C-alpha cells in the first residue's frame, strides 16, 4: 500500500477562448465541477493504476466533502485517515481553461489548512502497512514534515512533490528519497531558472546538494522529465498528444511513477510509464476523471507513438 498525505479540493471549471487580463471580464462556457486536489488526485492515480492506496487529509463537513470522499472511495482509496471539520469548508479550486488547454488555478485551501502533525500521528497505523509515503505542499508544512519523519522511522520510501511551491527547510528535504518538482518548483527550489533540459539538469544538481536527497526528477510537461539518480541521469522525452485539459496531469504522473517504483521497476522505465499515463490524461477532461487504468497505459505503450 502507498499512503498519500495531502489535499482535497472541489475543482470548479470554466472554459474560455483566452484568459482575462486583470480587471477584464471575458465570456466563458461549460461550467462543471469535479473532485480534485493534489493529494486526492495522486491517491486516485495510485489506486486506478493498481496500487492499494490510503489518504490522510482534511475536508469540511459539507456537500463537497461528502462528494470528494465518495469519489475516492469509489476509486478504491481508503479514506479512513481523512478528518472532517465542521467549522471550515472543504478546499475549492477555481480553474479557468483556455482554448489551448492551458489552465489558471486559484485555490481556497479551506479544511486542507487545518491538517496537523497530530492528525498524521493519529494514523500512524497506515504508515505501518505502507511501502511508501507521498506528500505535496498543499497541506501545512508541519503535516508534511510529520508524514516524512514518520515514514523515515518506519523505513518507507518517501516521495515529495513540492507543489504548489512554498519555501521549505533543507531539513525537510533531507527526509526525502525522491523530490519531484515541475519546472517552476525546480526553479524556486534551486534558484536556477528552468527553461530547457540543460537548466533542468543544473537545477536538479542544486536540489540534490541542498537536500542530500539522492534522487531528483524534474517534470517538463510535454517535454518529458529530467532524471538525476544513481541508476540513470538524463532526459526522457514525453509523448506527443493533442492536449484538451492539463489539470492533474502532474498528479497522474506522480501516481503512475510511484506505482512502478513500489513494484521495483527501475526509475527510467517507471518515468516512461508515468509520462504515458500523463499523456493519456491530458487528452481527457477533469483531474481524477482523466486518470487512465494500468491496462490502458500498458496497451497505449505498446502502440508506436511519437515522442516529443
Ligand atoms: O494538480 C491539480 C490540482 O491542483 C487540481 O485538482 C486543483 O485542485 C489544484 O489543487
d(CA 295, CA 272): 15
What is the position in ligand 1's atom list of the atom closest to the CA of 251?
1
Residue with cell 489535499: 7
Point out the ligand 1 atom lying closest to the alpha carbon of residue 95.
Answer: 7
Amino acid 72: pLDDT: 97
What is the mean pLDDT of the segment spanning 156-177?
98
pLDDT at position 44 is: 98
Q: Is the pLDDT of residue 307 over 90?
A: no
Instruction: Give the residue, by CA position, lying nearest to ligand 1 atom 6.
Output: 36
Assess whether pLDDT exceeds 80 at residue 65.
yes
Distance linking the first and last C-alpha atoms of the chain: 33
Q: What is the pTM of this model?
A: 0.97
> How far is Cα 126 from Cα 115, in angstroms, rounded to an integer?
16
Q: How far apart are CA 114 and CA 8, in angstroms?
A: 12
In this predicted structure, what is the pLDDT of residue 306? 57
* pLDDT band with cut points at 50, 70 and 90 for residue 20: very high
Choose one of 58, 247, 252, 288 to mutate for the ligand 1 pocket test, by most ligand atoms within 8 angstroms of C-beta: 247
- Domain 2-19+30-302, classified CATH 3.40.1190.20, yes or no: yes
Reported as a single tens digit per residue, the pLDDT across 113-146 is: 999 999 999 999 999 999 999 999 999 999 999 9
With beta carbons less than 8 A apart as the criterion, state whether 181 and 163 touch: yes
267 lines ligand 1 (CB under 6 A): no
- The pLDDT of residue 305: 61
pLDDT tier at 100, thresholds 50, 70, 90: confident
- 97 alpha carbon – ligand 1 mean position (Å): 13
For ligand 1, say whether the CB of 11 is within 6 Å of any of its atoms: yes
Ligand 1 pocket check for 107: Cβ under 6 Å? yes
| CB contact set of 290 (below 8 Å; sequence gap of 6+) | 245, 247, 248, 249, 252, 280, 281, 282, 283, 284
C-alpha 230 to ligand 1 mean position (Å): 31
According to the model, what pLDDT value does residue 48 have? 97
Position 32 confidence tier, pLDDT thresholds 50, 70, 90: very high
Burial of 238 (0-12, 13-18, 19+ CB in 10 A): buried
At 303, the pLDDT band (50, 70, 90 cuts) reads confident
Is pLDDT above 80 for 188?
yes
219 C-beta closer than 6 A to ligand 1: no
- Cell, residue 124: 500512524
Cis peptide before 164 (omega within 30 of 0): yes
Whole-number pLDDT of residue 102: 83
How far is C-alpha 300 from the geometric centre of its chain's CA atoms? 22
All residues at 6 or more sequence positions from 21 whose CB lies less than 8 Å from its CB, including other chains: none
pLDDT band at 308 (very low <50, low <70, confident <90, very high): low
DSSP of 107-142, one letter per residue? EE-GGGGG--HHHHHHTHHHHHT-SEEEE-SSS-HH
Task: Round the average pLDDT of the chain to a whole number and report it.
Answer: 96
pLDDT band at 233 (very low <50, low <70, confident <90, very high): very high
Q: Where are the domains of the chain?
A: 2-19+30-302
Of the pLDDT bands very low, low, confident and very high (cuts 50, 70, 90), residue 245 is confident
Counting Cβ atoms within 10 Å, is residue 38 exposed (0-12), middle (13-18) or buried (19+)? buried
pLDDT cut 90: percent of the chain above it: 94
Check residue 243 and give its pLDDT: 87
62 carries an active-site annotation: no
Q: What is the pLDDT of residue 224?
A: 97
Amino acid at each position: 500500500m502507498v499512503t498519500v498525505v495531502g489535499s482535497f479540493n472541489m475543482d470548479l471549471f470554466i472554459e474560455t477562448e483566452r484568459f482575462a487580463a486583470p480587471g477584464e471580464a471575458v465570456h466563458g462556457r461549460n461550467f462543471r465541477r469535479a473532485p480534485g486536489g493534489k493529494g486526492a488526485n495522486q491517491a486516485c492515480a495510485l489506486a486506478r493504476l493498481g496500487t492499494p492506496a490510503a489518504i490522510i487529509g482534511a475536508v469540511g463537513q459539507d456537500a463537497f466533502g461528502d462528494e470528494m470522499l465518495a469519489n475516492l472511495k469509489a476509486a478504491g482509496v481508503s479514506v479512513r485517515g481523512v478528518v472532517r471539520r465542521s467549522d471550515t469548508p472543504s478546499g475549492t479550486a477555481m480553474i479557468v481553461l483556455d482554448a489551448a488547454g492551458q489552465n489558471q488555478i486559484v485555490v481556497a485551501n479551506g479544511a486542507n489548512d487545518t491538517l496537523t502533525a497530530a492528525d498524521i500521528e493519529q494514523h500512524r497505523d497506515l504508515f505501518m502497512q505502507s511501502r511508501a509515503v507521498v506528500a505535496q505542499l498543499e497541506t501545512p508544512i508541519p503535516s508534511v514534515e510529520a508524514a516524512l519523519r514518520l515514514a523515515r522511522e518506519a523505513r518507507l520510501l518517501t516521495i515529495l512533490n513540492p507543489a504548489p511551491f512554498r519555501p521549505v527547510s533543507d531539513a525537510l528535504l533531507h527526509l526525502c528519497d525522491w523530490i519531484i518538482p515541475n519546472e517552476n518548483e525546480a526553479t524556486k527550489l534551486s534558484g536556477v531558472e528552468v527553461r530547457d533540459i540543460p537548466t533542468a539538469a543544473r537545477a536538479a544538481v542544486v536540489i540534490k546538494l541542498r537536500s542530500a536527497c539522492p534522487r531528483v526528477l524534474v517534470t517538463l510537461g510535454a517535454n518529458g522529465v529530467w532524471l538525476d539518480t544513481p541508476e540513470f541521469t538524463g532526459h526522457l522525452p514525453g509523448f506527443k498528444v493533442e492536449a484538451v485539459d492539463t489539470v492533474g496531469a502532474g498528479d497522474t504522473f506522480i501516481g503512475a511513477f510511484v506505482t512502478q517504483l513500489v513494484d521495483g521497476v527501475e526509475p527510467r522505465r517507471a518515468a516512461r510509464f508515468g509520462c504515458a499515463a500523463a499523456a493519456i490524461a491530458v487528452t481527457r477532461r477533469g483531474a481524477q476523471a482523466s486518470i487512465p487504468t494500468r491496462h490502458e497505459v500498458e496497451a497505449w505503450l505498446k502502440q508506436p507513438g511519437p515522442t516529443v
